Amino acid sequence: MPEPLIQLKKLVKNFVNGDVVTPAVCGVTLDIQSGEFLAIMGPSGSGKSTIMHIMGFLDTLTEGQYLFRGKDVSSLSEDELAFMRRNEVGFIFQTFNLLSKSNVIDNVMLPMVYTQIPPAERVKRAKKALEEIGLGHRLYHKSNQLSGGERQRVAVARAFINEPSVVFADEPTGNLDTKSGTAILEKLQDLNEEGHTIVMVTHEQEAAEYAKRIVRVRDGQIVSDVKNGHQRKGGEYWK
């Protein structure tokens, strides 16, 4: 088996407020291979989002080890971590996190600003990405003129625009109606079939069933880690 893209070894994360120490992640060990579509499930306060933030270089661990492509993340400088955030990972958030006063194409091009990609190529890539998600007619609309489902589709296009090694989706359907949420999950599934690695955090069983592997977390610990033999597809199960 090839070396995992992501390796968490006895990961611990504590939040400290004065003399009060609150454990959020308690000794999690987890390997994720390139090309996986993995769902991390758990109730509110289970530690699932904290695990994702550490894997996405948005937070640091208290104890343990995090290896990305075999390299110890704790050894990276701030500049190296910033490079990793720009080039190795993409994010999709429940609240979309779009620039409301910027148009759709500018939102999608944003991750390319700090790259060596020429401006004309940025526009070309962003247009193509938006056309692929059915928003080619909305390029110059402001993001606050879009529906919730359309905003999340823009967020998906933005997350994948730099061809990152892994995309982290934090409750990507949490603010959407059932139809829009299903469309987002099916798009993530399609992108995974193209070879993209996706790690999705969710508390919804139906959303998790679109993934190929489901990891359940409770009280900061992994309580189960199983391959999903019956992925949902278009509202149905398929083997």
Tens digit of each residue's pLDDT (9 = 90 or more) over 1-15: 789 999 999 999 999
Residue 14 is assigned to a structural domain of this protein:
no
For the record, the structure tokens of 14 come out as: 């504590």
Residue 65 is assigned to a structural domain of this protein:
no
Residue 183 is assigned to a structural domain of this protein:
yes
Predicted local confidence at residue 175, as pLDDT: 85
Predicted local confidence at residue 235, as pLDDT: 52
Residue 66 is assigned to a structural domain of this protein:
no
**Nearest in space to 68 (alpha carbons), one of 79, 80, 78, 201:** 80
pLDDT averaged over every residue in the chain: 92
The domain in which residue 163 lies consists of 35-46+78-227
Residue 233 is assigned to a structural domain of this protein:
no
Predicted local confidence at residue 106, as pLDDT: 96
Tell me how many domains the chain contains: 1
Separation between Cα atoms, residue 14 and residue 23, nearest integer Å:
4
Predicted local confidence at residue 238, as pLDDT: 37
Would you place residue 115 in the very low, low, confident or very high pLDDT band (cuts 50, 70, 90)?
confident
- Residues in contact with 221: Cβ distance below 8 Å, sequence separation at least 6, in sequence order: 26, 27, 28, 47
pLDDT reading at 201 higher than 90: yes
Question: Greatest CA span in the chain, whole angstroms?
Answer: 55
Residue 73 is assigned to a structural domain of this protein:
no
Predicted local confidence at residue 32, as pLDDT: 98
Give the mean model confidence (pLDDT) for residues 155-173. Answer: 93
Separation between Cα atoms, residue 130 and residue 150, nearest integer Å:
10
Packing angle, helices 119-132 and 148-160, rounded to 10? 130
Residue 18 is assigned to a structural domain of this protein:
no
pLDDT reading at 133 higher than 90: no
Residue 30 is assigned to a structural domain of this protein:
no
What's 132's domain CATH number?
3.40.50.300
